[in-house]
């Protein structure tokens, strides 16, 4: 039985076997207390070891980090903070861990643990994060399944740049410096594995649109890759994105779905991960106290999550957002680093002002200038803006980016040309507008940013098991 199950059972002096990793050992050889955790829950179980029952040479190997099995009687515990404990009769050592085991029972910094990503799962913090991450993933599938969406597996290797932002990781079988070149000196990809230049996908959206224009509602949930050289607490080179795409949805319905979706998955983990969230809440609140006053959150993690569930997201246009920023105190005192004017891409200081100072809740910004958005967004009648939407979250910034899509073939082709994208590379995408086109919309949610918000972790590298960032690919 796993510890999560054992802790739920009524102690009646029955025999149990506990398998897991030693967190702590206290006491002397005559009587010692070993705390064991198997990752199935935040809670550890205590084994009480009488020196008469277990040989000393075995107990010597029961050290922090060792993997053991304890057989014994499950009894009610008189100790505080636990209902049951095991009176050990027999201990088996699966794997020893000597004193060089890096995860000792003391507070380690997150930076230190990042360098030990292969072992950090063994800490309470990281095991809680990865359990919550699992439950969030599960809730994602549940939400869409309940709403008649189909999970579409879009390709990882692709020949197109879905965002047109040129942030692709190349995929090639050519050896370095040995690629054949054409007469004009360019790499001759026709001789490569796929016969053309390929990359890792930045988004499954374009393929997702093909699915939606037949199955009506689809979603993707997979890894995406961006070779952007951003060393921030919000960017990864490899991250997981959830991308629903819906036929017959316009921007308003897209916004409604995004808000409903985020509330559903947050509500679901609050229901199903109470113990882990209580632990993370406590961690967040402790950490919060050590921060400088101006960076300190006025609310606990659980309060922040409840607040999202209970309040409607603010909805404003880009133009309104710019007006608010121009009226804002920081702007009047010229305190924004990047000056605000209509047409700029909102910087994180602007987004933070809007969500954290002005609205103090999630905000959906719509109708951005077309020149700062991707080619596929539906062009508005004003000729200047597109039917885009970004959902911003306090402490996170952009959690979701989406839009209604341009369904008109001529308008879409014009935009493709204007942006200098080769029409030929998108012929299959454009054909959906030629044959039975339909209004449709969708969005992409950065899964790690959602996990960050829910777990209260400040750095995105701490919510994915093996983070990929510039210069980092150790594990």
* Residues near ligand 4AD (CB under 6 A): 162-163, 203, 205, 226, 228, 235-236, 239, 241, 243, 398-402, 442-444, 446, 448-449
Q: With respect to ligand 4AD, which residue has the nearer C-beta, 41 or 201?
A: 201
Buried residues in 73-103 as b, exposed as e (16+ CB within 10 A): bbeebeeeeeebbbebeebebeeebeeebeb
CB of 87 to ligand 4AD, least distance (A): 49
User: Which part of the chain contacts Mg ion (CB under 5 A), choosing from 35-43, 319-327, 394-402, 413-421?
Assistant: 394-402
Instruction: Provide the minimum distance between the beta carbon of 403 and Mg ion in the complex, in angstroms, as a whole number.
Output: 10
Nearer to ligand 4AD (CB atom), residue 21 or residue 239: 239
Does 204 sit near Mg ion (CB under 5 A)?
Answer: no
> Which residue number has the CB closest to Mg ion?
401
Give me the long-range contacts of 250-255 (CB less than 8 A, separation at least 24). Answer: 250/387, 250/404, 250/439, 250/441, 251/366, 251/378, 251/387, 251/389, 251/403, 251/404, 251/441, 253/441, 254/389, 254/402, 254/403, 254/404, 254/441, 254/442, 254/443, 255/315, 255/364, 255/366, 255/389
Dist CA 63 CA 99 (whole Å): 8
Sheet holding 397-404, edge to edge: 150-151, 217-225, 238-247, 440-446, 397-404, 385-393, 363-369, 314-317
Q: Which is nearer to Mg ion, 72 or 401 (CB)?
A: 401
C-alpha span between 241 and 122 (Å, rounded): 26
208 counts as binding Mg ion under rule CB under 5 A: no
CB 388 within 8 A of CB 375: no
243 binds, among ligand 4AD, Mg ion, none (CB under 5 to 8 A by kind): ligand 4AD
Give yes or no for a contact between 91 and 54, defined as CB atoms under 8 angstroms apart: yes
Q: How far apart are CA 393 and CA 274, in angstroms?
A: 22
164 binds, among ligand 4AD, Mg ion, none (CB under 5 to 8 A by kind): none
Least gap, CB of 401 to Mg ion (angstroms): 3
- Residue 20: contacted member of ligand 4AD, Mg ion, none (CB under 5 to 8 Å, by partner type): none
Q: Per CB under 5 A, does 446 bind Mg ion?
A: no
Q: Which C-beta is closer to ligand 4AD: that of 65 or that of 402?
A: 402
- Binding partner of 36, given ligand 4AD, Mg ion, none, CB within 5-8 angstroms per partner class: none
Residue 222 binds which entry of Mg ion, ligand 4AD, none, with Cβ cut-offs from 5 to 8 Å by kind?
Answer: none
* Residue 203 contacts which entry, Mg ion, ligand 4AD, none (Cβ below 5-8 A, type-dependent): ligand 4AD
Give the pair of three-digit tokens for residue 227: 């070779």
When the beta carbons of 122 and 433 are compared against ligand 4AD, the nearer one is: 433
Q: Which of 72, 401, 402, 446 binds Mg ion (CB under 5 A)?
A: 401
Q: Which residues lie closer than 8 Å to 393 by C-beta, 6 or more apart?
A: 355, 362, 399, 449, 453
Give 5 or 371: the residue with its C-beta nearer to Mg ion: 371
Residues within the interface to Mg ion (CB under 5 A): 401
């Amino acid at each position: 039985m796993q510890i999560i199950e054992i802790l739920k059972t009524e102690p009646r002096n029955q025999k149990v076997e506990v398998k897991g990793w030693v967190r702590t050992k206290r006491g002397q050889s005559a009587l010692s207390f070993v705390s064991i955790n198997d990752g199935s829950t935040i809670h550890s179980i205590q084994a009480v070891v009488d020196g008469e029952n277990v040989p000393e040479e075995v107990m010597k190997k029961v050290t922090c980090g060792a993997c053991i099995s304890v057989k014994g009687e499950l009894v009610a515990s008189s100790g505080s903070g636990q209902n049951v404990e095991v009176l050990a009769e027999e201990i088996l050592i699966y794997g020893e861990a000597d004193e060089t085991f890096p995860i000792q029972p003391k507070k380690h910094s997150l930076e230190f643990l990042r360098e030990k990503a292969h072992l950090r799962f063994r800490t309470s913090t990281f095991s809680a994060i990865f359990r919550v991450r699992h439950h969030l993933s599960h809730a994602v599938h549940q939400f869409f399944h309940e709403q008649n969406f189909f999970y579409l597996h879009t390709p990882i290797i692709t020949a197109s740049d879905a965002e047109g932002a040129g942030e692709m990781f190349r995929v090639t079988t050519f050896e370095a410096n040995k690629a054949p070149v054409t007469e004009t000196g360019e790499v001759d990809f026709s001789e490569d594995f796929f016969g053309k230049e390929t990359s890792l996908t930045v988004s499954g959206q374009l393929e997702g649109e093909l699915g939606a224009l037949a199955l009506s509602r689809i979603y993707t949930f997979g890894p995406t890759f961006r070779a952007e050289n951003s060393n921030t607490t919000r960017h990864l080179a490899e991250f997981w994105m959830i991308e629903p795409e819906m036929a017959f949805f316009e921007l308003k319905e897209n916004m409604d779905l995004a808000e409903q979706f985020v509330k559903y998955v947050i509500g679901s983990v609050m229901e199903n991960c109470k113990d882990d969230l209580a632990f993370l809440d406590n961690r967040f609140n402790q950490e919060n106290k050590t921060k400088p006053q101006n960076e300190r959150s006025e609310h606990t993690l659980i309060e922040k999550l409840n607040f999202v569930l209970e309040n409607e997201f603010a909805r404003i246009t880009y133009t309104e957002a710019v007006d608010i920023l121009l009226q804002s105190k920081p702007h009047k005192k010229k305190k924004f680093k990047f000056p605000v004017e209509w047409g700029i891409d909102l910087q994180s200081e602007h987004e933070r002002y809007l969500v954290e100072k002005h609205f103090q809740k999630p905000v959906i910004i719509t109708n951005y200038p077309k020149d700062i958005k991707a080619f596929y967004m539906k062009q508005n009648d004003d000729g200047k803006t597109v039917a885009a939407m970004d959902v911003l979250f306090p402490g996170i910034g952009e959690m979701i980016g989406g839009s209604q899509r341009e369904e008109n073939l001529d308008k879409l082709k014009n935009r493709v040309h204007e942006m200098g994208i080769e029409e030929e590379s998108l012929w299959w995408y454009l054909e959906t507008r030629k044959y039975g086109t339909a209004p449709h919309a969708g969005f992409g949610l950065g899964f790690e940013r959602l996990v960050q918000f829910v777990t209260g972790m400040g750095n995105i590298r701490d919510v994915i098991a093996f983070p990929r960032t510039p210069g980092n690919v150790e594990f």
